[in-house]
């Protein structure tokens, strides 16, 4: 028995499947390029073994524990928020007993891939196989082949970007460079902690940014200078991109005096919700201006209502699977930024969405016109076979393939990276195969597009 | 000739179809469980024959007469709103002449199923076959086999829930119990007439509720007590669920004093639209609290703009096919209720939608996190093959199968119930077959999921 | 080698494809009916040769130059906005080099069709084939067979509607009639220049309308009279329809005095954005009233944010590919108009959308109820294989086929007309074939529906 079929995710129709297979053969062995994600540089700096199976697969993966929680499993039983697991085997058993809940989800695809490809497990996870799989995984994790750097190489990663606060010293990134190891781990500049007035500790963060840079961040001018200086610091360690996680896609183009007053207001903590939103909006435009000047690619990930579940947030903190998407308006929201920088041909702004209804209505028309815009791949809840298929169906006819930027794995789960790229490559081949079988694209062109989506567009869009 | 093909609704690809067939064989004979709908308890209490074909198929079915009306057929010609049809055969002929309008609609599937399976008709309805089919149906309706109770048994119904006002004495439900008949007809508590200030006769309804319960419903405290008492009365007759048809999914969590003032305002008729909406919002949270205490499963059916056509409403009244869906915000709307009760593991709140764009964006992420939430099946305009397929495609990857609750027929048209379940079962098998053929799910698991979707999840979600 | 495969756009499954082929055989040779578009009557009045390939295919086609612009090609290099191209061959080469950008887009399908069917080109456009294709096209354009009237006949057009301002003398339409040529070129009444206060030159346009009609358009009464008179003038030249391009679907039903004040306000230029929107809303209702009286079919094309790119607008003007769709509310927006005229059975109002999320939620339910409403075909960004498929999937189950009106090519690109109808016919056959193979519709019915969608519904909906 095997968990993975070699034709997985390919359409059932034999003619279409045969084309998908051929296209996939052309790209399956291309290196992985991972320009956006949430792995930790410290893993590669220290290269220590990953801990036990529960700590690796259950605890940090909000895809996993949100589903378990939704079906009545307690987060305490999963030891969520606990630094040292008391009974990892018990956590693993709970997970295994509930593995059937993941039927039809991408989590199931990613986990099965890791279980079989990395750990050689061939039986479906269940209460029955829980202990055996736990033992096998735990045993392998202790071997040198399962250290972070070894896995990076085994995964054929060519580059892996982390996501970092401007307050981060990037010491781990520096340590990786100093170590002489060849792996390419790059930081990404994500300034939310010093840009979003609703971020916990915002005022302290801004002041700390001042200390780190020697700028006076109690005023807007020094604040901007500190951000520019920090971007330059990131660039020196290989950073090619910034990332911005905002509740909306709103941007603004205020005059300098109004900016100063607004900054004073948010820094003092007196700003109301509308002013906080306006500040974030203005800062997206400021960041776009900096990108025009320093060449960093800009990414916006908007539209998530963070920490929707107050009780879970109060008890367990951020990133507990309780972030919920909301409708996002790009056409009005982005206009101030685009008025100013939309026609800059050297500027790249990559847009993501959690609102699929905006894809064909707003995102593809915007990206199919503005020179600076590109569309990021399906994100978060939509990093899935159906989500990827809808993405291509919704955007290709208006924006084409070449206003998209290939795949992001965007994950905290390092071991799921090859599985996620595998799903993306297969789904792109499935989509292309349908175009070929319906004579909407010639196969020689599909071969080229498949390579572009998998490799070339990622490297060019992210300047890697 | 036959109206029904045994492979109907299964995908065209032979391999996928073969799997769908096998999955369907495993569930086609399971009993029907109908936890939400609009049949009348009086039918089963009295067990009288259904009237003529026009009165049965045309007059009460807004799916039918809305389509005819949209194409210029007059509601007067269809004798809509007439208690005793003057010329049912003429109405039937009009319907038959226009039967081609239903091509590609679920109404066509449901009607063909009833025509063939129940009445043995094998020729497509048209002007030519109108009289013959009328005669056959009329003849059979007069036989004992077509009485409500006989049909209930023939349909293999295991339970059938009606939808009832708190002002209803439930005498028919009591009569069914008293009769000794084994059919399980359960009431559902739908308090809109006493909760929605825009409901016709709201004030009188609330006062009548006071009379029925002996509570002083002129004050908020007595009003809540009267609702609780009525819920208990419903429970005694087997009720396991409540249902709430609101224009939005808004909820609120006001303080007690504000509730009292608001109640006074809506009861006096002085409340403006915003206050009326706020009252409904608050009442959803109150109802959730009662569900937490008394265990009744809560359903919300939001997002319909009722009686959109003023002229039709003025002349013919409610439920005339002129209710139109509108965009619905769940992520902000439900927050006050979820802040309070979202983490209650014994509480079940089943959400429905008429806004498909919310399915992948809001509903699946919410249901895939909150322990109390489940997703109801595609509703109303989406109780259809394409609607069902989109539902599974949109929600499964985030919420899985096990945060859904199986099928609701939700119908006034008793004779369409087997047809509707047949469509739902086939579409679930078609969806599962695609997962299997694409190696996203093993067939043994699909067999289990098919049974769960058809039978087990309905019973557990509705506590039947 | 060939650019076009005879099975293009048909599903890959052999059984489904065979049905699609049979259905297509039944309609492929039906005449083209083009009830809405943006070709120029002057072409047919003068019957002069079309200019060079670049001027014909690149310059006027915003689908083409928006994609090139989005990928960094400068509009100046494409000589956009230049009356006489200085170097059309150079423009053509730029286009050819970037032809790969159109992979997966409908533009590619339309262009390949024109290249092969009209010009006999069989090699894919690229840098390599640029000069050869330029020469062939240029050579053929100079021949009598490529004059507008000859092409009209070769395309088997039966009727072709243009879109015209109330300020247009329609001299070209008159000249066509006077010429004795049999082609049926009809004007469409599009009053935006005199109805939308944000239209450039609105006040002057309204005053000019007064001069043309002899009415006093400085007052609301004379303004309405002038519009009615102009509609009558259009009707005399064969016009059967009006068209309205508004930013929203809002309508209003104001009292006469409020209308007069509002008109005064917008005419004086003192109206704010809300008043301008209210005036447009009121005018839709006024136009509906006129349609009830004079029988002109009414079309609304709402939801486009025009000229989103300020820099491109300032430099190059309107229709430069920078119009972006936005979310559109029909259910509330249309209510005032429908309250007044929704039940008029002789009135036809055809609705279009750029917001696909409204299709199943609002448009199909509205059109499946109101006698006056019909749904226009997928428009603009959605005039594409995937857009057409989603349209049928989203609306058919609620509105049926018979509340839709067949295809519009809606194009400025005369040479793309046969290609666009070819795509629409094939996609309808593909959709119908799926229904047939899944036994949701019998094939004899599908044959009839295919003819209705292609020919009969267009003629009846537009009163042609």
Number of Cβ within a 10 Å radius of residue C232: 14
Q: Nearest to residue B195, comparing CAs of B300, B115, B99?
A: B300
Q: Assign 3-state DSSP to chain B and report helix, strand, coil percentages, each to 5.
A: 55, 5, 40
User: Nearest residue of A to residue C381 by CA position?
Assistant: A398
Question: CB-based contact (8 Å) between C365 and chain B?
Answer: yes
Q: Do B123 and B249 fall within a single domain?
A: no
Q: Do B160 and B126 fall within a single domain?
A: no
The closest CB to that of C109, out of A401, A440, A449, belongs to: A440
**For C384-417, what is each residue's pLDDT tens digit?**
999 999 999 999 999 999 999 999 999 999 999 9
Question: CB-based contact (8 Å) between C440 and chain B?
Answer: yes
Counting Cβ atoms within 10 Å, is residue C459 exposed (0-12), middle (13-18) or buried (19+)? Answer: middle
Q: Nearest to residue A29, comparing CAs of A432, A414, A455?
A: A455
Number of Cβ within a 10 Å radius of residue A58: 22
Question: Chains that contact C by 3+ CB pairs under 8 Å?
Answer: A, B
User: Nearest residue of B to residue A4 by CA position?
Assistant: B439
**Two structure tokens written together for C320:** 């430069």
Question: How much is the average pLDDT of A366-384?
Answer: 98
CA distance B234 to B241: 9
Q: Do B136 and B159 fall within a single domain?
A: no
Question: How much is the average pLDDT of A429-444?
Answer: 98
**Residue B123, CA distances (Å) to B98, B130, C454 in order:** 15, 10, 27
CB contacts under 8 A, C 5-64 vs A, are: 5, 7-14
pLDDT in tens, chain B (464 residues): 689 999 999 999 999 999 999 999 999 999 999 999 999 999 999 999 999 999 999 988 999 999 999 999 999 999 998 889 999 999 999 999 999 999 999 999 999 999 999 999 999 999 999 999 999 999 999 999 999 999 999 999 999 999 999 999 999 999 999 999 999 999 999 999 999 999 999 999 999 999 999 999 999 999 999 999 999 999 999 999 999 999 999 999 999 999 999 999 999 999 999 999 999 999 999 999 999 999 999 999 999 999 999 999 999 988 888 999 999 999 999 999 999 999 999 999 999 999 999 999 999 999 999 999 999 999 999 999 999 999 999 999 999 999 999 999 999 999 999 999 999 999 999 999 999 999 999 999 999 999 999 999 999 999 99
Domain finish residue from C119, C145, C171: C145
Counting Cβ atoms within 10 Å, is residue A313 exposed (0-12), middle (13-18) or buried (19+)? Answer: middle
Q: How confident is the model at residue C1 (pLDDT cuts 50, 70, 90)?
A: low
Question: CB-based contact (8 Å) between A302 and chain B?
Answer: no
- H or E element: which one contains B34? strand B32-34
Q: Is the pLDDT of residue A107 over 90?
A: yes
Q: Which of A337, A344, A361 to mutate to test the interface with C (most CBs of C within 10 A)?
A: A361
CA distance B267 to B270: 8
Q: Which of B2, B382, B386 to mutate to test the interface with C (most CBs of C within 10 A)?
A: B386
Question: CB-based contact (8 Å) between C305 and chain A?
Answer: yes
- H or E element: which one contains A32? strand A32-34
Q: Which of B357, B437, B440, B457 to mutate to test the interface with A (most CBs of A within 10 A)?
A: B440
**Two structure tokens written together for B430:** 């078609």
CB contacts under 8 A, A 191-220 vs B, are: none
Q: Is the pLDDT of residue A303 over 90?
A: yes
Question: CB-based contact (8 Å) between C375 and chain A?
Answer: no
Q: Is the pLDDT of residue A49 over 90?
A: yes
Q: State ipTM.
A: 0.97
**Residue C425, CA distances (Å) to C392, C414, C450 in order:** 13, 18, 8
Question: CB-based contact (8 Å) between C97 and chain A?
Answer: no
Question: How much is the average pLDDT of C208-217?
Answer: 98
Give C108 to chain A, closest Cα distance, Å: 9
Q: Which residues of A148-165 are buried (b: 16+ CB within 10 A; e: fewer)?
A: bbebbeebebbbbbbbbb
Q: Which residues of A82-95 are buried (b: 16+ CB within 10 A; e: fewer)?
A: eeebeebeebbbbb
Q: Looking at beta carbons, which residues of chain B come within 8 Å of A327?
A: 327, 329, 357, 361
**Two structure tokens written together for B65:** 């007469």
Q: Which of C395, C440, C457 to mutate to test the interface with B (most CBs of B within 10 A)?
A: C440
Cβ distance of B339 and A310 shorter than 8 Å: yes
Contact status, residue B62 vs residue B318, Cβ threshold 8 Å = no
Q: Do A141 and A221 fall within a single domain?
A: no
SS3 state of residue C305 = strand
CB contacts under 8 A, A 401-420 vs C, are: 401-403
pLDDT at B293: 98
**For A14-45, what is each residue's pLDDT tens digit?**
999 999 999 999 999 999 999 999 999 999 99
**For C259-314, what is each residue's pLDDT tens digit?**
999 999 999 999 999 999 999 999 999 999 999 999 999 999 999 999 999 999 99
pLDDT at C258: 98
Question: How much is the average pLDDT of C169-176?
Answer: 98
Average pLDDT along chain C: 97
Q: Do B258 and B299 fall within a single domain?
A: yes
Cβ distance of B8 and C439 shorter than 8 Å: yes
CA distance B151 to B168: 25
Q: Is the pLDDT of residue C321 over 90?
A: no
* Structural domain range at position B275: 148-462
The closest CB to that of B102, out of C332, C367, C400, belongs to: C400
Contact status, residue C27 vs residue C447, Cβ threshold 8 Å = no
pLDDT at A318: 86
Strands A324-325, A304-305: pairing is: antiparallel
Contact status, residue C406 vs residue C454, Cβ threshold 8 Å = yes
Q: Nearest to residue B85, comparing CAs of B133, B125, B52?
A: B52
pLDDT at A1: 67
Cβ distance of C370 and B5 shorter than 8 Å: no
Give C461 to chain A, closest Cα distance, Å: 27
Q: Do B139 and B158 fall within a single domain?
A: no
**Residue C231, CA distances (Å) to B342, C267, C375 in order:** 59, 21, 23
Question: How much is the average pLDDT of C325-330?
Answer: 97
Contact status, residue C377 vs residue C411, Cβ threshold 8 Å = no
Q: How confident is the model at residue A319 (pLDDT cuts 50, 70, 90)?
A: confident
Residue C3 belongs to some domain of the structure: no
Q: Do A141 and A154 fall within a single domain?
A: no
CA distance B17 to B7: 8
Question: Chains that contact B by 3+ CB pairs under 8 Å?
Answer: A, C
User: Nearest residue of A to residue C324 by CA position?
Assistant: A365
Contact status, residue C358 vs residue C330, Cβ threshold 8 Å = yes
Question: CB-based contact (8 Å) between C309 and chain A?
Answer: yes
CA distance A421 to B300: 39
**Residues comprising chain A, all counted:** 464
Q: Looking at beta carbons, which residues of chain A come within 8 Å of C356?
A: 357, 360-361
φ, ψ of residue C187 in degrees (nearest 5): -80, 155
Residue C373 belongs to some domain of the structure: yes
Residue A88 belongs to some domain of the structure: yes
Domain finish residue from C106, C130, C145: C145
Q: Do B204 and B72 fall within a single domain?
A: no
Residue C264 belongs to some domain of the structure: yes
Q: Is the pLDDT of residue C47 over 90?
A: yes
Residue C196 sits in a domain whose CATH number is 3.20.20.140
Q: How confident is the model at residue C59 (pLDDT cuts 50, 70, 90)?
A: confident
The closest CB to that of C368, out of B8, B70, B326, belongs to: B70
Residue A103 sits in a domain whose CATH number is 1.10.2020.10
Q: Do A158 and A125 fall within a single domain?
A: no
CA distance C73 to C70: 7
* Cβ-proximal residues to C314 (8 Å cutoff; 6+ apart), any chain: none
Chain Cα centroid distance, residue A367:
20
Q: Do C110 and C178 fall within a single domain?
A: no
Q: Do B138 and B152 fall within a single domain?
A: no
The closest CB to that of A385, out of B437, B440, B448, belongs to: B440
DSSP A404: B
Residue B9 belongs to some domain of the structure: no
How many domains, in total, are found in chain A?
Answer: 2
CA distance C176 to C172: 6
**Residues comprising chain C, all counted:** 464
* Cβ-proximal residues to C104 (8 Å cutoff; 6+ apart), any chain: A396, A397, A400, A401, A435, A440, A441, A449
Question: How much is the average pLDDT of C165-180?
Answer: 98
Residue B117 belongs to some domain of the structure: yes
Domain finish residue from A116, A145, A174: A145
SS3 state of residue B244 = strand
Cβ distance of C326 and A368 shorter than 8 Å: no
The closest CB to that of B360, out of A10, A305, A381, belongs to: A381
Q: Do A226 and A179 fall within a single domain?
A: yes
Residue C363 belongs to some domain of the structure: yes
CB contacts under 8 A, B 67-86 vs A, are: none
* Cβ-proximal residues to C401 (8 Å cutoff; 6+ apart), any chain: B103, B104, C449, C452, C453, C457
pLDDT at A321: 84
Residue C428 belongs to some domain of the structure: yes
Q: Looking at beta carbons, which residues of chain C come within 8 Å of B308?
A: 331, 335, 338, 366, 369
Question: How much is the average pLDDT of C38-49?
Answer: 97
Give B335 to chain A, closest Cα distance, Å: 8
φ, ψ of residue A304 in degrees (nearest 5): -105, 125
């Amino acid at each position: 028995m095997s968990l993975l079929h070699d034709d997985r995710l390919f359409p059932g129709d034999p003619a279409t499947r045969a084309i998908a297979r051929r296209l996939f053969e052309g790209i399956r062995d291309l290196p992985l390029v991972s320009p956006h994600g949430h792995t930790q540089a410290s893993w590669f700096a220290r290269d220590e073994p990953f801990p036990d199976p529960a700590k690796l697969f259950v605890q940090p993966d909000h895809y996993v524990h949100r589903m378990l929680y939704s079906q009545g499993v307690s987060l305490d039983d999963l030891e969520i928020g606990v630094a040292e697991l008391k009974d990892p085997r018990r956590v693993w058993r709970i997970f295994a007993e509930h593995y059937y809940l993941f039927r039809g989800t991408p989590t199931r695809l990613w986990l099965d891939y890791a279980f079989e490809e990395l750990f050689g497990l061939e039986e479906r996870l269940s209460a029955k196989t829980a202990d055996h799989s736990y033992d096998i995984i735990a045993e392998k994790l202790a071997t040198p082949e399962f250290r972070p750097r070894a896995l990076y190489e085994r995964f054929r990663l060519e580059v892996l970007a982390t996501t970092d606060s401007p307050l981060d010293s990037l010491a781990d990134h520096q340590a990786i460079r100093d170590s002489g190891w060849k792996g390419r781990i790059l930081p990404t500049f994500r300034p939310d902690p010093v840009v979003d007035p609703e971020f916990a500790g915002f005022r302290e963060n801004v002041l700390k940014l001042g200390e780190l840079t020697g700028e006076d961040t109690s005023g807007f001018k020094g604040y901007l200078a500190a951000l520019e200086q920090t971007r330059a610091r990131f660039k020196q360690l290989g950073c090619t991109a910034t990332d911005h996680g905002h509740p909306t896609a709103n941007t603004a183009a205020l005059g300098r005096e109004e900016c100063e007053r607004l900054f004073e207001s948010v820094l003092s903590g007196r700003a109301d919700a509308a002013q906080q939103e306006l500040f974030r909006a203005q800062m997206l435009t400021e960041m776009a201006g900096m990108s025009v000047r320093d060449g960093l690619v800009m990414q916006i990930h908007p539209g998530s209502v963070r920490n929707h579940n107050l009780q879970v947030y109060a008890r367990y903190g951020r990133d507990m699977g309780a972030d919920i998407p909301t409708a996002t308006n790009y056409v009005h929201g982005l206009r101030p930024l685009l008025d100013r920088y939309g026609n800059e041909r050297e500027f790249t702004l990559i847009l993501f969405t959690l609102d699929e209804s905006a894809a064909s209505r707003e995102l593809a028309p915007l990206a199919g016109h503005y020179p600076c815009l590109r569309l990021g791949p399906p994100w978060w809840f939509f990093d899935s076979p159906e989500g990827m298929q809808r993405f291509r169906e919704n955007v290709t006819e208006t924006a084409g393939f070449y206003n998209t930027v290939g795949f992001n794995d965007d994950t905290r789960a390092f071991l799921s990276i090859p599985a996620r790229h595998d799903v993306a490559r297969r789904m792109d081949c499935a989509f292309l195969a349908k175009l070929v079988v319906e004579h909407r694209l010639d196969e020689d062109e599909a071969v080229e597009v498949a390579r572009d989506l998998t490799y070339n567009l990622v490297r060019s869009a992210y300047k890697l």
